[in-house]
Structure 1
Amino acid sequence: MKRLLKYTLALLLVAVIALFVWGYAPDTDPAAMKAKYASASSQFIDVGGGLTMHVRDEGKRDGPVLVLLHGSNASLQTWEPWVARLGAKYRIISLDQIGHGLTGPNPTGKYDGDAFVATLDALMVKMGVSKFALAGNSMGGYVAWEYALAHSEKLTHLALIDAAGPPEDPNKKLPIGFKIARTPGLNKLAMVITPRSLFEKSLQETVSNQAVITPAVVDRYWELNRYPGNREATGLRFASYGGRGRDLGRISEIKLPTLILWGAEDKLIPVSGADWFAAQIAGAVKIIYPGIGHIPMEEAADRSASDLDAFLSKPFPSPAALPSIAASRP
């Protein structure tokens, strides 16, 4: 019995050592990350309470304002395809949300819906932006519709791109990174054991257009998620995940012109979520992209940017007013 216990402990020790050798990754250096991932358009804006947010304010200075919110474990770079296509017409504000990118952790340690809405609003106030269209992907879509419920008077339009919020199928298969983030114990290990291959695999499982998953994109996800404080923030954010359903019954209160864009092959938030949002929000325009996964703004940049532009160009759009885009696109 003692010998068996000895061998078992020895095997566990070897496994732990192998795990650390395979995946141990320290925090990245903030200065190096800013040098690599900030751009000439980057601003670092103090919004109060010890929080400084990484923001890009680009495009036509006097154009309609469009604010873009990235998804879980992503960063503002996910919107670069839209900025390139829409910047001549719109003033586009993209940002690293709390616990992400070069913004880093929220000093309050809070990562529920209220915290994301409050920090976004504080940023808009600081920038002097009082009226804007708001678009969000995945987790950013969740923040967008929560912001619409809290501050509808500040919004002209709402766009939900594969947005979080619809009731989940408990049996659905999650990408490996999300499984780890939601699993007690493993999510603690993920604060120090974060192999690059984990991000590569999760991204490959999330999108259908694999061409968007380049080595540079994988590096960006891997390095920015190791920006000091971001991994702990991820754990805290997923710990509060259950509270995201609290306002689902209020979504029908949204009266804004709303566009729903969705990848037909989204494995993270299935396309049934688009139907659910469309049923909740009166007059919402729904567009489904065949052959596209979770991030249409990257996977189908031309089509999705064009559809958003067509939608925003109408003061009060409705499916009847936009017959050319009010259905699935090939």
Structure 2
Amino acid sequence: MKPLHLLICAAAIALSTHAAPGLAQLAATAPDSPQTPRLTVDQLRARYGDGQSRYMTVKGMEIHYKDEGPRNAPVLLLIHGSQSSLRTWDRITVLLKKRYRIIRFDIPGYGLSSPATDEAARSVKPVEVTEGLLEQLGVKRLAAAVGVSSGGTMAMYLAAKRPEMVERLILSNTPSDPVDTSHMVQTPAFLAAQDRVRKTGYQDLDFWNQYLSFFSGDPARISARTRAEYWDFNRRAPEPYPIAMVARIGDGKQAAIEMAKIKTPTFLVWGAGDPLLPEAAVKAITRYLSNATISKVLMPDVGHYPPLEVPDRFARWIETYVEAGVPLAGDKAR
């Protein structure tokens, strides 16, 4: 592995906690600067909170979540990846919430959720945040747990720990091995943006433009609004534990044990144009999920974040897979 490559991308947070701090951690803990003003959680909530925003305390942390759709409908849990937020699922929620109850949340340290506390960083496993949220919402059964990137890792751990809860598992560009980035060929502009972050500790707007373009199959699919949101959410006030509540593969040993426990039917919806986790990663995760019935679809024109890049297509895949195995309200008599 090349040290520079280890520092660059959200999915690399799936590396062992013993790895050197990445750009995400460097930027999260840098001091404030007049040239790159930080945003407090309160400022972000004022800017991005809306009528659907709700807050719940789980394991001593205030979790921002949204719970939309009919309460008697099949429940979909949508989990975002590292350095992202629940806004990853905005368009998909619009498309599906008339027929499903959709629950999504910001992982502590991201979006509008509070930072991880000292106690949580010491003793709370990330999957326990998901469990606590669902328990307080009274959700005992999920039609599907859906996750992208490290959000898929969180969904996998939930399915391994709570098989009675997760009826279907939908994973998108989720690592199954310690992430190796040595194969990636990066653009000069992206390399220059990373160099600035190493020198200044800040991920500026151009960094996020380069990042999202590099990890997209078609950069034109990522709007200027989404790019600005990524910049805003990743210039939060310094976080003491920026990745503590992100589900991680670590050295892969325990993750392999957990994946082997999963018997939940699993659907891999993959952006095969992902420069980090291409088609070879699909084959790897299929091997690890050896006791699950696997379905898969590869989209060669899509990159690392399919729900963000092709949300309409992704929503159709969710609906098709869930409806194949879970009758919806009103469908049972057909």
TM-score norm. by structure 1 comes to: 0.78
Q: Is the 8 A contact 1:109 1:233 kept in 2?
A: no
Which of 97, 108, 115 is equivalent to 2:125? 115
CA shift digits 1:249-304 (9 cap, x unpaired)? 43122100111100110112222111222233332101111211111122222222
1:265-284 equivalences in 2 (<5 Å): 265-281=273-289, 282-284=292-294
Write the distance in 1 (CA, Å) between the matches of 2:166 and 2:32.
Answer: 49
Secondary structure of the equivalent of 2:168?
strand
1:309, distance to aligned residue in structure 2 (A): 0.8
Which of 86, 89, 97 is equivalent to 1:76? 86
Cα RMSD over matched residues? 3.4
**Amino acid in structure 1 at the alignment position of 2:259:** I
| Residues 30/153 of structure 1: CA separation in 2 closer, same or farther (3 Å cut) | same
CA shift digits 1:59-110 (9 cap, x unpaired)? 2222100000001100001101211111111000011012211103111365
Which of 151, 168, 183 is equivalent to 1:140? 151
Q: Is the 8 A contact 1:278 1:285 kept in 2?
A: no
Between the two proteins, what is the percent identity of the paired residues? 27
Question: Does 2:182 align with 1:171?
Answer: yes
| Residues 87/73 of structure 1: CA separation in 2 closer, same or farther (3 Å cut) | same
Secondary structure of the equivalent of 2:268?
strand
| Residues 297/112 of structure 1: CA separation in 2 closer, same or farther (3 Å cut) | farther
Secondary structure of the equivalent of 2:293?
coil
| Residues 244/237 of structure 1: CA separation in 2 closer, same or farther (3 Å cut) | farther
| Residue number in structure 2 paired with 1:65 | 75
- State the aligned residue count: 291
**Amino acid in structure 1 at the alignment position of 2:298:** I
Structure with higher RCO (Cα < 8 A, 6+ apart):
2
CA shift digits 1:6-41 (9 cap, x unpaired)? xxxxxxxxxxxxxx9999523203333112211211
Write the distance in 1 (CA, Å) between the matches of 2:222 and 2:299.
Answer: 18
Write the distance in 1 (CA, Å) between the matches of 2:186 and 2:103.
Answer: 29
**Amino acid in structure 2 at the alignment position of 1:215:** A
Which of 33, 43, 50 is equivalent to 1:32? 43
**Amino acid in structure 2 at the alignment position of 1:257:** P
Which of 222, 233, 242 is equivalent to 2:241? 233
Write the distance in 1 (CA, Å) between the matches of 2:218 and 2:34.
Answer: 27
| Residue number in structure 2 paired with 1:223 | 232
| Residue number in structure 1 paired with 2:5 | none
Write the distance in 2 (CA, Å) between the matches of 1:214 and 1:163.
Answer: 23
- Structure 1: any 5+ residue segments left out of the alignment? 1-19, 318-330
Secondary structure of the equivalent of 1:294?
coil
1:160-199 equivalences in 2 (<5 Å): 160-169=171-180, 171-173=182-184, 190=201, 193-199=202-208
Secondary structure of the equivalent of 1:261?
strand
Question: Does 2:257 align with 1:257?
Answer: no
Q: Is the 8 A contact 2:108 2:245 kept in 1?
A: no
- Structure 2: any 5+ residue segments left out of the alignment? 1-30, 328-334
Which of 288, 292, 306 is equivalent to 2:302? 292
Q: Is the 8 A contact 1:59 1:87 kept in 2?
A: yes
Bigger share in helix: 1
Question: Does 2:91 align with 1:91?
Answer: no
